[in-house]
């Protein structure tokens, strides 16, 4: 009886290791989108929408809507930059990615309140975060 439990435990352990290995391989295959692709397709266009809205003195409904879409996408891009093996390191990169997400959330709050001053401040903070990250990580 003891051998049966040991054999069963051994088989379960081997199956769990195999499942973990397969999951890791699938995750590596799923991470086919690079940092550059996230930046080009999501982060830059989304931040540009926020920068444009922040720079305007007269914002119409369409501009507020575009800025809101940009803020939502920007938050998601910040999350993506922290996952799937995209992080360049486990400290500063993650801190800057979290700041990107926080600034996108602040932008959403400012946009939903149609708070011009808060949106301008978010635009400035976002610019500073982007510049600091590019200065540190962007290939010259």
Q: Are residues 51 and 71 in the same domain?
A: yes
Give the structural domain span for 50: 33-137
Q: Are residues 61 and 120 in the same domain?
A: yes
Residues 6 or more apart whose CB falls under 8 angstroms from that of 31 comprise 84, 85, 86
Q: What is the pLDDT of residue 30?
A: 55
Q: What is the pLDDT of residue 40?
A: 96
Question: For position 79, which CATH number holds?
Answer: 1.20.120.10
Q: Are residues 11 and 49 in the same domain?
A: no
Instruction: Name the nearest CA neighbour of 44 among 91, 79, 68, 78.
Output: 78
Q: Are residues 74 and 17 in the same domain?
A: no
Q: Are residues 38 and 85 in the same domain?
A: yes
| Residue 9: CA count within 13 A, CB half-sphere | 6
Q: Are residues 117 and 52 in the same domain?
A: yes
Q: Are residues 102 and 51 in the same domain?
A: yes
Q: Are residues 76 and 90 in the same domain?
A: yes
Total of domains in the chain = 2
Q: What is the pLDDT of residue 139?
A: 85
Q: What is the pLDDT of residue 78?
A: 96
Q: What is the pLDDT of residue 32?
A: 82
Please count the residues of the chain. Answer: 140
pLDDT by residue for the chain (140 residues), tens only, comes to: 556 655 555 565 555 565 555 555 555 555 589 999 999 999 999 999 999 999 998 999 999 999 999 999 999 999 999 998 999 999 999 999 999 999 999 999 999 999 999 999 999 999 999 999 999 999 87
Q: Are residues 59 and 91 in the same domain?
A: yes
Q: Are residues 52 and 24 in the same domain?
A: no
Q: Are residues 26 and 37 in the same domain?
A: no
Q: Are residues 20 and 72 in the same domain?
A: no
């Amino acid at each position: 009886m003891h051998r049966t439990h040991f054999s069963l435990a051994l088989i379960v352990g081997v199956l769990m290791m195999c499942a973990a290995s397969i999951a890791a391989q699938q995750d590596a295959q799923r991470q086919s989108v690079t940092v550059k692709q996230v930046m080009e397709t999501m982060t830059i266009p989304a931040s540009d929408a926020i920068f444009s809205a922040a720079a305007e003195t007269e914002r119409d409904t369409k501009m507020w809507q575009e800025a809101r879409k940009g803020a939502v996408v920007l938050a998601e891009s910040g999350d993506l930059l922290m996952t799937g093996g995209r992080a360049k390191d486990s400290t500063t990169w993650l801190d800057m990615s979290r700041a990107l997400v926080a600034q996108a959330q602040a932008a959403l709050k400012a946009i939903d309140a149609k708070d011009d001053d808060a949106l301008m401040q978010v635009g400035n903070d976002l610019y500073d975060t982007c510049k600091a990250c590019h200065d540190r990580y962007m290939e010259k």
